Amino acid sequence: MRLLVVEDDRLLNNTLCYNLSAAGYTVDAAITKSEAVSLCQAQDYDLIVLDVNLPDGNGFDFCREIKERRPDTAVIFLTANDMESDQLRGFELGADDYVKIDITDSGKGIAESRQGMIFKRFYREEDIMGQFSKKSKIEILIKFCIHKAFLKNTGK
């Protein structure tokens, strides 16, 4: 399974790519929309993890372009944009999920708790159920990576 991470926060991008690669996925990274477009012209991806706010464009436009070209590519938005209208727009464009990132210091304790719960859920359900669907496993891993990057960024 080939993944593309499109995220302009270098720490989060690197953390996601490292952990997804360590989990056995082939991962490419882009910091800008133009980099992502170039990569998608050269390679098809099974899943794209996509930020909404990019330095040279927005993830909504990129999602629309990808879905027109390759509708079966899964897209998970990963963003600090928490407006319901943004979520709806993402889903209307064909996104499979919309994950909001809490990047405030006040969310640090919540992030620590969620990281532990996500990590335990990932391994417990794998043991109980034998195997997740690939999409579920990736979504849980991505959420774990987000919280890991957040805690690293806040000095934990």
For residue 134, what is the domain's CATH number?
3.40.50.2300
Q: Which residue has the higher pLDDT, 10 or 32?
A: 32
| Spatial distance between the Cα atoms of 14 and 7, rounded to a whole number of angstroms | 9
Q: Which residue has the higher pLDDT, 47 or 108?
A: 47
* Cβ atoms 75, 114 nearer than 8 A: no
* Cβ atoms 76, 139 nearer than 8 A: yes
> Which of 53-67, 120-134, 136-150 holds the top average pLDDT?
53-67
| Spatial distance between the Cα atoms of 153 and 103, rounded to a whole number of angstroms | 9
pTM tops 0.75, yes or no: no
Computed over every residue of the chain, the mean pLDDT equals 75
* Cβ atoms 48, 74 nearer than 8 A: yes
State how many domains the chain has: 1
What is the extent of the structural domain holding 86? 2-153
Q: What is the average per-residue pLDDT within 135-147? A: 59
Residue percentage of the chain with pLDDT more than 90: 31
Q: What confidence tens digit (pLDDT) does each residue in 79-138 have?
A: 777 788 888 898 899 888 888 776 554 444 444 444 444 444 444 444 444 444 555 556
Residue 35, SS3 per DSSP:
helix
* Cβ atoms 110, 150 nearer than 8 A: no
| Spatial distance between the Cα atoms of 138 and 69, rounded to a whole number of angstroms | 23
Give me the pLDDT at residue 110, please.
43
